Structure 1
Amino acid sequence: MTAEEKSVLSLFMIGVLIVVGKVLAGGEPITPRLFIGRMLLGGFVSMVAGVVLVQFPDLSLPAVCGIGSMLGIAGYQVIEIAIQRRFKGRGKQ
C-alpha cells in the first residue's frame, strides 16, 4: 500500500470513528440504517481533506488528518441537514 493510499484510508477511518462516537453519544435511537449511513457519510466527508494536498502538496499527514477530523465533525452534519431539508420540502408539495 502506498503512502497516498494509507493517507486516504486514514482519513476515511478518522471520519468513521468520529461519527461512531457522535452516534453513540447522541440521545436518538440507533438503527442499522442510520448507523451505517452516517459512518459512510462521515468517512467520505473526511476524505475531502485530501483535496488540500492539491494546493499544499508538502503538508504533513497529521495536518491533513486534522483537517479531515474537522470536516468529519462539521461537514457531515451540514450535508445531513441539507438532505433532510430537501426531502422535507418535497414531502410538502
Structure 2
Amino acid sequence: MQEHEKGLLWLLCVGALIGLGKLLSSNEAITTRLIFGRAILGAGTSTIAGVALMQFPALPMPALVGIGAGLGIVGAQYLEAWLKRRADKISA
C-alpha cells in the first residue's frame, strides 16, 4: 500500500470514529441507520483534509490526521445541520 493510500485510509477511519463518537455522546436513540449515516458523514468530511496535501505535499501524517479530525468534527456538524434544514423545507 502506497503512502497516499495509507493516508486516505487513516482519514476515513478517523472520520468514521468521530462520527460514531458523536453519536455515542448524544441523547439520540441509536439505530443502525444513524450509525452508518454518522460514520459515512464523518469519513467523508475528514477526507477533505487530503486537499491540504495539494498545498503542502510534505505534510507529515500526524498533521494530516489532525486536520482530518478537525474537518470531520466541524464539517459533519455543518453538513448535518444543513441537511436537516433542507429536509424541513422539503417536507413543509
Q: What TM-score results when the alignment is normalised by the length of structure 2?
A: 0.96
Q: CA deviation at 1:40?
A: 0.6
Q: Which residue of 2 aligns with 1:2?
A: 2
Quote the Cα distance in structure 1 between the aligned partners of 2:86 and 2:23: 22
Quote the Cα distance in structure 2 between the aligned partners of 1:11 and 1:79: 18
Quote the Cα distance in structure 1 between the aligned partners of 2:64 and 2:26: 27
Quote the Cα distance in structure 2 between the aligned partners of 1:75 and 1:25: 17
Structure 1 residues not aligned, in runs of 5+: none
Q: For 1:43-90, what per-residue CA distance to the aligned partner results, in whole angstroms no more than 9, with x for missing partners?
A: 111011001100111111111110000011111010011011011011
- Residue correspondence of structure 1 range 24-39 to structure 2 within 5 A: 24-39=24-39
Q: Which residue of 2 aligns with 1:53?
A: 53
Q: For 1:23-57, what per-residue CA distance to the aligned partner results, in whole angstroms no more than 9, with x for missing partners?
A: 11111101111110110110111011001100111
- Aligned residue pairs total 92
2:52 partner amino acid = V
2:25 partner amino acid = A
Task: Give the ranges of 4+ consecutive aligned residues of structure 1 lying more than 6 Å apart after TM superposition.
Answer: none
Structure 2 residues not aligned, in runs of 5+: none
- Residue correspondence of structure 1 range 58-77 to structure 2 within 5 A: 58-77=58-77
Q: What TM-score results when the alignment is normalised by the length of structure 1?
A: 0.95
